[in-house]
Amino acid sequence: MERIKPRTLSGFMELLPARQMQFERILNTLKETYALYGFTPLDTPLIESSEILLAKGGGETEKQIYRFQKGDSDLSLRFDLTVPLAKYVAMNYANLSFPFKRYQIGKVYRGERAQRGRFREFYQADIDIIGDGSLDITNEAEIPSIIYRAFTSLGLQRFKIRINNRKLLNGFFELLGLKDASAGIMRAIDKLDKIGADKVRAILVEDEGLSAELADEILRFITSEDKIGTLSQYTGKCALFDEGAEELRTVASYMTEYGIPDDHFEIDFTIARGLDYYTGTVYETMMLDHPEIGSICSGGRYDHLAEYYTEKALPGVGISIGVTRLFYVLGEQGYLNDAIVTAPADVLILPMMEDGKAAASLATYLRGCGIRTQVYSEKKKFKAKIGYADRLGIPFAAILGEDELQAGKLSLKNMATGEQQLVTREEAAEIVRQAMALKNNEKPIKE
Amino acid sequence: MERIKPRTLSGFMELLPARQMQFERILNTLKETYALYGFTPLDTPLIESSEILLAKGGGETEKQIYRFQKGDSDLSLRFDLTVPLAKYVAMNYANLSFPFKRYQIGKVYRGERAQRGRFREFYQADIDIIGDGSLDITNEAEIPSIIYRAFTSLGLQRFKIRINNRKLLNGFFELLGLKDASAGIMRAIDKLDKIGADKVRAILVEDEGLSAELADEILRFITSEDKIGTLSQYTGKCALFDEGAEELRTVASYMTEYGIPDDHFEIDFTIARGLDYYTGTVYETMMLDHPEIGSICSGGRYDHLAEYYTEKALPGVGISIGVTRLFYVLGEQGYLNDAIVTAPADVLILPMMEDGKAAASLATYLRGCGIRTQVYSEKKKFKAKIGYADRLGIPFAAILGEDELQAGKLSLKNMATGEQQLVTREEAAEIVRQAMALKNNEKPIKE
């Protein structure tokens, strides 16, 4: 028979079992966190009509889309979870209750040029709160709380959530008489972290044609220590600025009540998150020790979720985590906690006799106790059997031989310590349960 | 702005929130059950190279495949989870421990003609045990235990697992001297349930050219009451038959130890499950009150998982549940249990004052207790707020007004009974936790 060399497409993450268990733990933690905040899970098709998916049209994204013909249909694979949400909300408007809070964790597709750490198939983990006509600012205040709980539940501690407000930013340029130059100014101040204040100032003056005074004023504003205090200096000069300042104050005032420590949150006037989609609060999340990774959770407030499908005003606020890339980066940096349970079972039963019925019976009992149990049924030598438990990292081996059967017991071996004890199945279940409860306290990320 | 009517492609299941919660419960129950048996989760790409996916080639499936070009690549969407598993095992052979037990629950794609209850995108929930060179028969005995626990955990009771053995069947035809007619005979006896013994007999004689005696013998064999007893009548005449009989006896002998009640299991000599893939035990699962649905969980033993990719002998045994179709059918038959928790939150907090900080603080506390909590932040009348909890089926409303705040308490309203009590947040958490523990005992299927 002619054989084909098995391979997985480049840009598609496919993990070995232990790594996959770590990835699943991360997805599950995100699901649980999103659910704690009252978001409902959604699952939309991976394929949509191209007409629907590309309603917005144009841009860099369109080139990357997996688009194809099937019969008479022009189809595309989803490239994010926002467009399918917009379709869903517009389509099911009459059957939804607003504010509509949904989470979706699923794969999306972008045919990017393959390179290390770039994926063509990757998971996004999104939440959005959609209002019907309006949406209160306190929804924007709740988002950092979700980001904080999500990452700390994963085990990450050294991160900071940065927020800004697009109204404030646009209002600030407007009140300086620089409305038309705002895009160029934004691009320049976005580089502050990387190139420093002097170089940003030079760009503002030389490339953007600002006066030295205006450039200084902008730099003073964005680098001010007391950000909330700085806002009051400009109050009353521009309605848009005042609105943004008020929103930012409100959002910031909720951080304590939403359980976010001061050192995990800051206002940062340099954050813009793209130039046209977001209209209010915007969010970024940086790993303190790895700013080079960029934001690991971003989003913001927008005014028109589904304008391509409905005339209804559907404002919203949402964030997204690119889980596949985050997982890859965490792995590269050695942040994945290998102490979490990655074994497929808590107990491996080793039947030492021809007849496996006692093993089957013990397995049925342990599974009834909620213990993940595997029976090693192959007719191999003891060394091969116990070696299997060892290689897979299964924490306990339950040995069932003549002696054990006659005593109505089993030998439970703790694979880590080597300790072995003759116990009843009830005792075994209790020992395993306690050990696993401890192990399951481990978080998937370890700094 | 020109708007596009939002729609979802036909043949693609997209659920409203409450239904989606029911579907998630079913997927989670299957995951938990598979994990209890020591299967490890796998997640392979939805897109594979067409060369890999179609290595086997030909057949009805190939016409249904979503296949397309992207750049220089000829790509296809997976149409099952078995071919990707074969690729994965062949590719990662050196890094896996055998027997390799994996589960995978994921979407697959088949461009079938759209019709009611037929899906082009649907979930399969598969488990497979893959051996390296050999795989003990007791693995085949364990499979019905997994099927039984999976369906009873979902809440289904009135079903029966039917098993047969392909060696036995092929051996039987061989010992009757009917080896070459076996395909036609199988097709005929497969119809026994539908058309009855007389018509099957007529087909065997008239269409297949069997003598009346042989036709009678076949019918006596497949309809015998004492199936295990019947086997001994034919022992010693054909090695293949004897081997199959021995395997079937072994599998049947384990059912009690694997926790399967007698009335949920039977041997059925009419089951073949296709003609060329399976080589040993085969499984079907029928709903007693809905035989018209066909098998809701099927599979069997095979000898060559990855023969198109590797020369290694990789025998295995596996089963698959078509979850999307099953969910659709259960919904049609009214089997979905609406008493399970389908609300996005356990508690909806209604802040009755302008400032929402007390609500934020309460939400943070309740979430810390593991209670799914949503804050209703819109500035609406009380009736609109409480109506939102009502429509979403949220079991508890926590009302926070001036009086409650001054007392350092909250008014907890049980939405089902209308009962309202002034309690501390600790008391509220305890009341909600107890109520939800009860509600979470409900299973997703109710007969």
What tens digit of pLDDT does each residue of B129-158 get? Answer: 999 999 999 999 999 999 999 999 999 999
The answer to whether residue A64 neighbours chain B at the CB level (below 8 Å) is no
Cβ <8 Å between B49 and A135: no
Residues of B (374-433) whose Cβ lies below 8 Å from A: 374-379, 388, 391-392
Beta carbons within 10 angstroms of residue B146's beta carbon:
21
Domain final residue pick, A306, A332, A358: A332
Q: Find residues 147-166 of chain B whose CB sits inside 8 Å of chain A.
A: 149
Do B133 and B23 lie in one domain? The reply is yes
- In sequence order, what are the residues at sequence separation of 6 or more whose Cβ sits closer than 8 angstroms to the Cβ of residue B378? A99, A131, A134, A135, A136, B384, B385
Q: Which residues of A touch B258 (CB under 8 A)?
A: 360, 363-364
- Tokens representing B415? 């939405």
Residue B216 in any domain: the answer is no
- Average pLDDT over all residues of chain B: 95
Q: Is B4 within 8 Å of A91 when comparing Cβ atoms?
A: no
Domain count for chain B: 2
Q: Mind telling me how many Å the CA of A212 is from chain B's nearest CA? A: 42
List per-block mean pLDDT (blocks of 10 residues) for chain A, which spans 447 residues: 92 97 98 98 98 82 90 95 97 98 98 85 98 97 98 98 95 94 87 89 93 95 91 95 97 96 96 82 96 94 94 97 97 96 97 94 98 96 96 97 96 97 98 95 95
Q: Where do the H-state alpha helices sit in B224-346?
A: 227-233, 239-253, 323-332
Q: What pLDDT sits at residue B275?
A: 62
The pLDDT of residue B277 is 85
d(CA B389, CA B375): 11
Flag if A66 and B68 touch (Cβ within 8 Å): yes
Torsion region of A58: left, alpha or beta (phi above 0 gives left; psi -120 to 50 gives alpha): left
Q: Is A345 exposed, middle or buried (0-12, 13-18, 19+ CB in 10 A)?
A: buried
Write down the pLDDT at residue B183.
85
Domain boundary (B336, B367, B397) is at B336
User: Do A280 and A410 reside in the same domain of the chain?
Assistant: no
Contacts of A82 in chain B (CB under 8 A): none
B148 and B27 belong to one structural domain = yes
A274: which residues sit within 8 A by CB, 6+ positions away?
none
- Say if residue A156 is in the same domain as residue A37: yes
Residue where a domain terminates, one of A332, A361, A394: A332
Angle of helix A197-206 versus helix A182-189 axis, rounded to 10: 160
Residue A392 domain-assigned? yes
> What is the structure's pLDDT at B58?
64
Same domain, A251 and A374: no
- B366 and B326 share a domain? no
Establish if A165 belongs to a structural domain: yes
What span, in angstroms and rounded, lies between the C-alpha atoms of B216 and B222?
10
- A374 and A321 inside one domain: no
Are residues B390 and B301 part of one domain?
Answer: no
What pLDDT does residue A276 have? Answer: 74
CB contact under 8 A, B378 and A136: yes
Confidence of residue B176 (pLDDT cuts 50, 70, 90): very high
Per-residue pLDDT, B187: 86
Whether residues B324 and B361 fall in one domain: no
Do the Cβ atoms of B138 and A375 come within 8 Å?
Answer: yes
Q: Provide the 3-class DSSP secondary structure of residue A316.
A: strand
Same domain for B55 and B125: yes
Q: Report residue A259 as tokens.
A: 């359980």
Does residue A221 sit within a domain?
yes
pLDDT for the residue A117: 81
pLDDT value of residue B43: 98
pLDDT above 90 covers a percentage of chain B that reads 87
Residue B265 has pLDDT above 70, yes or no: yes
Domain with residue A384: its CATH number is 3.40.50.800
pLDDT value of residue A2: 82
Give the gap in angstroms from C-alpha B141 to the nearest C-alpha of chain A: 9
Provide the residue count of chain A: 447
CB-nearest partner of A7 from B91, B109, B121:
B91
pLDDT in tens, B327-373: 999 999 999 999 999 999 999 999 999 899 999 999 999 999 999 99
Q: Same domain, yes or no, for A145 and A54?
A: yes
- Among B252-261, B272-281, B316-325, the range scoring the smallest mean pLDDT is B272-281
Q: Is a pLDDT exceeding 80 seen at residue B109?
A: yes
pLDDT at B280 over 70: yes
Tokens of B170: 């092929």
What three-state secondary structure class fits A306?
A: coil
Residue A375 resides in a domain: yes
* Cβ neighbour number for residue B207 with a 10 Å cutoff: 11
What pLDDT is recorded for position A41? 98
Average pLDDT score over residue span B222-243:
93
Look up the domain containing A430 and give its range.
347-439
Classify residue A338: in a domain, yes or no: no
Q: Chain A to chain B, count of Cβ pairs less than 8 Å apart?
A: 269
- Which of A20, A101, A259 lies closest to B41 in CB terms? A20
Average pLDDT (B151-171) is 96
| pLDDT for residue A418 | 97
- Regarding whether A354 and A314 lie in a shared domain, the answer is no
CATH of the domain at B90: 3.30.930.10
- Could you tell me if residue B4 is inside a domain? no
Calculate the alpha carbon distances from A154 to A25, A31, A111, A330 in Å.
9, 11, 29, 11
Which range (B1-5, B383-387, B439-443) has the least confidence? B1-5
